[in-house]
Amino acid sequence: MICPACNSPMIVLEYKSIELDVCASCNGIWFDADELRLLLEKMALNADAVGNAVDSDEPKRTCPICRHKMHKVALGAAAKTTIDSCEHGHGLWFDCGEVDAVIAELRKQNGTPEAKSVTNFLAELFSADAAGKDEK
C-alpha cells in the first residue's frame, strides 16, 4: 500500500489480531474500515465517533484503496482532531501525531476498562510518549 501523505510504501503491523498500515517515512497510519470498527466496538462506541466533514487548510489525501480524494472529518465528541476519511468507507488516515491526540482525548472521555484497553493498545503500538499517561 502507498502512503496517502508522502507516497512511500507502507508496512503492515499486526498486534492483537488487528492489522494496521503504517508509513515508516512520515509516521502516518491507515485504519481499514474493519480495524476501525473492531476498535470502536471494543470501546462501546459506534461510527458516529467520526464526525461530519470539516473545512481544513490541510491538503486532501488520496485513499490508498480506491484512490479517490478523502474528506477531512472531525473525530470524537470534542472534535479537536481532524483526520481523513474515505468517502467510500474504506478507512481513515491519521497523520503523524493525530493518533496521540486521539489517545489523549479518549482517555479523558472513556473511563471504562474496555476504553483503557484500547487506548493502551494504541499507545503501545504507536506512541512511547502516550503509554502510561493514565497510570498516574
The confidence score (pLDDT) of residue 128 equals 45
Number of domains in the chain: 1
Q: Are 29 and 103 in contact (CB under 8 A)?
A: no
- Residue 65: its H or E element: none
Cell readout for 52 is 461530519
Task: Confirm whether 2 is domain-assigned.
Answer: no
Task: Confirm whether 17 is domain-assigned.
Answer: yes
Better-predicted residue by pLDDT, 134 or 82: 82
Neighbours of 98 (CB within 10 A): 19
Residue 43, pLDDT > 70, answer: no
Residue 31, pLDDT > 50, answer: yes
Task: Confirm whether 16 is domain-assigned.
Answer: yes
Neighbours of 83 (CB within 10 A): 27
Task: Confirm whether 59 is domain-assigned.
Answer: yes
Better-predicted residue by pLDDT, 122 or 71: 71
SS3 content of the chain, % helix, strand, coil (to 5): 30, 30, 40
Task: Confirm whether 1 is domain-assigned.
Answer: no
**Domain enclosing residue 88, as ranges:** 10-135
Closest CA relative to residue 75, chosen from 44, 97, 54: 54
> What is 32-59 written as a DSSP string?
EHHHHHHHHHHTT--GGGEEEE---SSP
Residue 26, pLDDT > 50, answer: yes
pTM above 0.85, yes or no: no
Q: Are 54 and 34 in contact (CB under 8 A)?
A: no
pLDDT bucket at 5, cuts 50 / 70 / 90? very high
The confidence score (pLDDT) of residue 109 equals 63
Identity of residue 105: E
Task: Confirm whether 115 is domain-assigned.
Answer: yes
Share of the chain above pLDDT 70, in %: 66
Task: Confirm whether 5 is domain-assigned.
Answer: no
Task: Confirm whether 65 is domain-assigned.
Answer: yes
Share of the chain above pLDDT 90, in %: 28
Neighbours of 54 (CB within 10 A): 13
